[in-house]
A and B are shown apart, each in its own frame.
Chain A
Amino acid sequence: MLDIVIDVLTAVFLIVGAFLSFAAGVGLIRFSDAIARMHATTKPQILGLMVILAAIGLQSPNWSTILLLIPILVFQMLTAPIAAHMVGRAGYRTGVMAEDSLLIDELAGAIERAQQESGGAGTT
């Protein structure tokens, strides 16, 4: 009985993880610019990874596996935002964003002010 419950849970987790990865792929193609695409690729992937790791933990419930899954998740969670930030920052700076995709842009004003204060020479 318990085995069936675990198998069903594992299957559900794997399907949810696969669905999120699929949606990330679709978002990568459909979203309008580089930064919006980062949302699609880095984020559903975190939850997708969480559920797939949970599925692995359910199927092989011993300490050495579970202890190995935790650092995998932690390092993904630490590195994914940094990758997203670097691409996002570079994308913003080089102006690859679609013009009409922004509703409000509060950073542009801040950069302008910073440049005026430093005499137009410095870029932050």
Chain B
Amino acid sequence: MNAQVTRRELRRRFIRQLPLLVGLVVLWMVLWGNLSWLNLITGILVAVVVTRVFYLPPVDLSGRFNPWHGLVFLATFIGDVIVASFQVAFLALRPGRIPTSSVIGVNLHTRSDLIMTLVAIALSLVPGSLVVEADRESSILYFHTFPTASGRDVEKMRRKVLLVESRIVRTLGSKDDLRRIAEEARR
């Protein structure tokens, strides 16, 4: 009976690792640039070795994925990057004083490490915000934001962080996180 439990556990662990393994094999084949059996077999071997040698704790996926909200997130993200890139670029080139920046702490609603990481990465890629510190226990991300000329800009940034979080949670967050976001929206 004990052996059965461990076998089931092993299978669950394998299924959880499967997306990572498939991703590594696909990356291997893309890097070689052609599709062949040899690439597939060596890719599987390399993927297994890499995941054994560089062992990482499994990522807790919620099992949800909403393609529509994913698309919304991707589109708004690219829009944000384009707008903010030019803002920072013009700021650099414009003569005159460089505006002040701020360090702000934003309390996220999610309790998931993955969502927190994704929010941090997404916002770090948008010019004007950079994660200085992350408080994992209380889900607070500290951003260095630039430019903030007044308190209004700070509040705008805070709202933007929470908006990005809500989009990511709607794409792949757990039901628990979704509920928290919905509660916050009603308030």
Task: Give the interface of A toward B (CB within 8 A).
Answer: 19-20, 23-24, 26-27, 30-32, 35-36, 38-40, 42-44, 46-48, 50, 64, 67-68, 70-71, 77-78, 80-81, 84-85, 88-89, 92, 100-108, 110, 124
Contacts and interface: CB of A to CB of B under 8 A. Distances in A.
B104 A106 contact: yes
In order of increasing CB-CB distance, the 5 nearest A-B pairs are A81-B124, A43-B127, A27-B92, A23-B89, A47-B85
Contacts of A44: 85, 88-89, 127
Contact of B103 (A68, A70, A81, A92): A92
Majority DSSP secondary structure for residues of B touching A: mixed
Contacts of B98: 30-32, 36
A24 B30 contact: no
Q: Could you say which interface size class chain B belongs to? A: 35 or more
Contacts of A71: 27, 30-31
Contact of A20 (B85, B100, B103, B128): B85
Contacts of B135: 110, 124
A80 to B, nearest CB: 7
A102 B146 CA distance: 9
A108 B146 CA distance: 17
A74 to B, nearest CB: 9
Given A35-B144, A78-B121, A104-B148, 17 more contacts: A20-B85, A24-B89, A27-B89, A31-B92, A39-B127, A39-B144, A39-B146, A43-B88, A44-B88, A85-B132, A88-B130, A102-B101, A102-B103, A103-B100, A103-B102, A107-B103, A107-B132
